[in-house]
């Protein structure tokens, strides 16, 4: 019975996902080609994200949004539990941000161009030097006040634990003197775990940590900044945060 229910639920989600994507995909491509900032494309993507959460019967909430200073740029450092992290972060943070994305997505016709035109940052994950150079180029294309979102673990957690943070986002923050905004996502893995197709209704909670000033940090002590940020993200992590079964 459980397998049948999951199959029906997946068919429902895929049908609505296809419709929601068609409704916003071409407007996003169009405004990405016209807009020089990518801000409007990001705003449209929020509509899509809200639709997807509603279709999946998932509620996203945020704690301590007041810690985010309006109009200020941050390097947002988050843990990564599920594909639903993306939807939760887009809909709850209330700020313009761009993603650090693997370069392979540029090869997708139209979609890749739209991501690029929207001022997202593409990196070669297999080459650290090239990745940092790509990040620096991407930062120069960002509109004023936009932040950058980094899943510091590099990929979704396979077991629900928070794993080691990669340094790319921290190098970006230190060299550009941009404050770090630690963010923790709770509950998304119960909605959809890595490697699973079973989407379950539930709740996702995004917790915003205190921003970290990076002006006193130098590249040689970036490991200290990584440790401090991970400590904050981990302190706000609740592996038992419930989704509805």
pTM to 2 decimals? 0.88
pLDDT of 243 reads: 45
240 domain-assigned: no
Res. 8: pLDDT tops 80: no
Neighbouring C-beta atoms of residue 25, cutoff 10 Å: 15
Q: What is the pLDDT of residue 190?
A: 95
Give residue 44's pLDDT: 87
> Has residue 79 been placed in a domain?
yes
Mean pLDDT of 17-38: 76
User: Torsion angle of alpha carbons 43, 47, 49, 50, nearest 10°?
Assistant: 130
Residue 241 placed within a domain: no
Give me the pLDDT at residue 245, please: 44
Helix ranges restricted to H, the chain: 2-34, 39-55, 84-92, 111-117, 128-140, 168-176, 188-191, 222-235
Q: Which two tokens stand for residue 167?
A: 């340094």
Which residues span the domain enclosing 31? 2-235
Residue 116 covered by a domain? yes
In terms of Cα–Cα distance, which of 128, 129, 135 is closest to 150?
135
| Separation CA 77–CA 68 (nearest Å) | 13
> Looking at the 3D structure of the chain, how many domains does it have?
1
- The alpha carbon dihedral of 61, 230, 198, 89 has a sign of positive
Q: Which two tokens stand for residue 175?
A: 């060299």
Q: How many residues does the chain have?
A: 245
Give residue-wise pLDDT tens across range 161-179.
Answer: 999 999 889 998 999 999 9
Residues 7-18 have a mean pLDDT of 75
| pLDDT digits 0-9 by tens, 76-106 | 999 999 999 999 999 999 999 999 888 888 8
* Cα 44 from Cα 6, distance rounded (Å): 30
Q: Would you say residue 242 lies in a domain? A: no
Residue 14 in domain? yes
CA of 138: how far to CAs of 19, 99, 223, in Å?
Answer: 31, 10, 23
Residue 243 lies inside a defined structural domain of this protein: no
Instruction: Give the CATH number, domain containing residue 131.
Output: 3.40.1130
* pLDDT of res. 2: 62
Highest mean pLDDT among 130-139, 191-200, 225-234: 225-234
3-state helix, strand, coil in the chain (%, to 5): 50, 15, 35
Q: Helices 84-92 & 39-55, crossing angle to 10 degrees?
A: 120
Asked, for residue 245, whether it belongs to a domain, the answer is no
Q: What is the pLDDT of residues 28-74, one digit of tens each?
A: 777 777 777 888 888 888 988 999 999 899 999 999 999 999 999 99
Give the closest residue to 138 by CA, choosing from 183, 88, 97. Answer: 97
């Amino acid at each position: 019975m459980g397998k049948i229910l999951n199959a029906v639920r997946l068919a429902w989600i895929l049908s609505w996902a296809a419709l929601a994507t068609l409704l916003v995909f071409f407007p996003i491509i169009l405004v990405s080609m016209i807009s020089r900032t990518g801000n409007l494309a990001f705003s449209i993507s929020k509509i899509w994200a809200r639709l997807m959460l509603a279709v999946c019967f998932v509620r996203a909430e945020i704690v301590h949004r007041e810690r985010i200073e309006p109009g200020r740029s941050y390097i947002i450092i988050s843990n990564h539990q599920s594909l639903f992290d993306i939807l939760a972060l887009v809909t709850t943070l209330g700020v313009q941000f761009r993603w650090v994305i693997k370069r392979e997505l540029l090869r997708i016709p139209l979609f890749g161009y739209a991501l690029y035109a929207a001022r997202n940052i593409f990196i070669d994950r297999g080459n650290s030097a090239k990745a940092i150079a790509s990040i620096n180029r991407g930062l120069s294309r960002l509109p004023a006040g936009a932040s950058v979102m980094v899943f510091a673990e590099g990929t979704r957690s396979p077991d629900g634990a928070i794993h080691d943070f990669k340094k790319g986002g921290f190098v970006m923050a230190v060299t550009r003197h941009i404050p770090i905004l630690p963010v923790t996502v709770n509950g998304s893995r119960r909605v959809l775990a890595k490697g699973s197709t079973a989407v379950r209704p539930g709740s996702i909670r995004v917790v915003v940590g205190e921003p970290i000033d990076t002006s006193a940090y130098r590249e040689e002590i970036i490991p200290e900044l990584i440790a401090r940020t991970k400590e904050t993200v981990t302190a706000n992590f609740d592996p038992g945060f419930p989704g509805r079964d």
